[in-house]
Structure formats: structure tokens, C-alpha cells
Amino acid sequence: MILTADRVALPAGLVGPGWAATSGDRVTGAGAGMPSAPADRHLTGLLVPGFVDQHCHGGGGASFTTGDRAEAERVIATHRAHGTTTMVASLVTDTEERLVASLRALAPLVRTGELAGLHLEGPWLSPGRCGAHDPTLLRVPEPAAVARLLDAGEDAVRMVTLATELDHGLDAVALLAGREVVVALGHTDATYADTLAAIGAGVTVATHLFNTMPPVHHREPGPVLALTADERVVVELVADGIHLHPEVLRRAAASAPGRFALVTDAMAAAGAGDGDHVLGPSVVRVRDGVARLVSNGAIAGSTLTMDRALRYAVTVAGVPLEAAVEAATATPARVLGIPDVGALEAGRRADLVHLDDDLEVVAVMRAGAWLEVS
């Protein structure tokens, strides 16, 4: 199949007009201008790679945190309809027994390629920055406990978020990095010096930058400046207008060019509307698209989909379109170490999203097959 479009997001940047060709489940070529052979279809608007979400807890009224395979498949289908063709399943703090059960239930979806990996967001978080995580279930990252959860996931755990300033924190970072797990700093009370030490030990991601971490202070810079300044670190940004003011989002993106990833941090209400839902062991009430714990009102993830995150970043926060597309595709693919997604170039998996001029999803292709988009 040969597709032409008004604009195409290529690894070198946005071009217009442009084209992409696929055969089976692979991209066979892409470029600027018109293809040498007649096109099968012209797409009005923008053609981009499939979105890659490295941080998602649920959607469509379902949640990864239940460990139920049918629910996981509903989450995946919901986000695919919004352009996310590669997804990591994020779990929240829970008992070790329930986390082990969830990891074992979801690992087969990683082996079949339905998920790109699993993400443990907790239980090794700062009690003072736990956000929507149950503080009674938090613990320090003793290497033996970390190893037990990794073993339960059978190599499916791709990323772990932890507060590295906790006892055993840097030892846990070394363990995770040694097992080729992406290590993220988040839900943390780390100082600037703590953060530099964490990056030196192997931290390469900032989990939802600014949220659940100390703010910048003129005498104690905290983690934000260290994370945005270091070329080894990719910072996650939740572009929903709730987690971050649009000016903060714009400035953070500008401070880390090519090193910020748009993430949804979505929970069950994404694509499902208001109501009561669960996030791990906690009950979440969603009103007007804002998710908060029933128990204490803390923000509990988001109701975002990646197409909405892209639109908000560009049209509200003023992030350049080219940079926002990269942050939703190539950058998270690089973080996760997945070489065959995130770009329109020969040899990559044929994951494509057709957006109209308002950046609304028109059509989605995954592995060469068009998906149903409502």
C-alpha cells in the first residue's frame, strides 16, 4: 500500500506533501514529495507514526491494575483507537502478593507483543510524595524484594519508578539497570544532590516531571533542574491541563529538546467518561474529566489519550508540532529500547496514525492493518 498525505512526520522532520509505503506488517519506504508509483490513497491532513505510551494504567472503564487479562485487552483496544499502537502497562503500589499476581497475569501479553512491557510505579516511593498511592503499602527498595518482583514478571518488567533517596535506593537502581530495566525517578523527596547521584547510578527517566516531587527552590533546586539538564534523562510530561500549567509544559519541553515524552498516566476513565473507578486498591471518582481519590482528593492519574495529549501540547501549550510528535513517538520508543516502532522508515513496523488538520484521529494502522476507530 502506498499512501500520500498533505504532511508526513519523517525522522528528519515534517514534510509536505509526503508519502509512506507498507507491505505486510512493515514500512517499506517513506519520503518527501510524491512516490514514484501511483498512490493507493491520499490522506488529507497529517500522517505520523503510531503513538508510544510508556506510562498508562487503564482506559475504557478497565484497568491494568486489576491484573485481569480481559480488562487489559479492553485498555489496549481503547487506546489503540486513539492512535496508541505501542503501550506499557503501569501498575501502582499494592501488596507484594497482588503485584506478583498482576505481573504474572500481564506478562503473556508482553510475550505476544500486545504490550511493550510492564511498569512498576511503586511500591518503593516516598511517603511524603505518594500522591494516589496507598501510603500504608509503601516500602523501601530492598534489592531482594525488587528482584522478587522482577522474577515474577519473567523479564516483562520494562520500567520501574522509585524514590532513590530511600534506604537501599541506589542499590536498587544498580540492580535494575544491571537487568536492563529502565529506571525512573518519581514520587520522590530527592534533593538536587540526591538526583545527581541517582542519575549517576542509572536513572534515565523522570516520572511525570514536577508532579509528586519537590518544586524548584532558590536554595535547594530539587530534582527538576537536575533531571531537565542531564542529556541522559528523558522527562515525562502529562499534557492534560490538570497536572501542569500550559506554560510550565511549554518551558519544560523547551528545556529538554528531544528528551521529553508525552505520557497519559491514564486510569480507567480514559475514553469512558465520569464515574467511580479503581486504581489498584484505591477508589477513584472522576468528575468533569478529573480523576481524584475518594479518600483524600489527591489527583489519581488522568483521563487522557495520546491524541488529546498531542493536541493539548500543540494547540494550548504552544509546543511545536514536530517536537510534540517526536515526544509521542520516537522518544518513548527510544526510552523503551524498541527499535521497530516510533518512526516512519523502511523496516519499522507499519504503525501509522492519520490526523486531520485539527489533530483529531481519522484512522489508525497497526502492523499493517487498519483498526476500527469510533
Annotated catalytic, 265?
yes
The three cell numbers locating residue 218: 532558590
Burial class (CB in 10 A: 0-12, 13-18, 19+), 277: buried
Which alpha helices (DSSP H) does the chain contain, by range?
69-80, 96-111, 143-152, 169-178, 192-201, 222-229, 246-255, 306-311, 321-328, 330-336
The three cell numbers locating residue 129: 510524595
The three cell numbers locating residue 308: 488529546
CA distances from 197 to 169, 185, 194, 357 (A): 10, 11, 5, 44
What whole-number distance in Å separates Cα of residue 51 and Cα of residue 311?
Answer: 13
Catalytic residue among 53, 194, 230, 265, which?
265
Q: Are 67 and 105 in contact (CB under 8 A)?
A: yes
Listed residue (27, 31, 16, 79) closest to 306, CA to CA: 79
DSSP code string of 308-320: HHHHIIIIIS---
What whole-number distance in Å separates Cα of residue 85 and Cα of residue 364?
Answer: 8
The three cell numbers locating residue 209: 516531571
Burial class (CB in 10 A: 0-12, 13-18, 19+), 41: exposed
What whole-number distance in Å separates Cα of residue 236 and Cα of residue 242?
Answer: 15
What whole-number distance in Å separates Cα of residue 218 and Cα of residue 212?
Answer: 19
- Grid cell 507514526 — which residue? 49
Question: Where in the sequence numbering do the catalytic residues fall?
Answer: 265
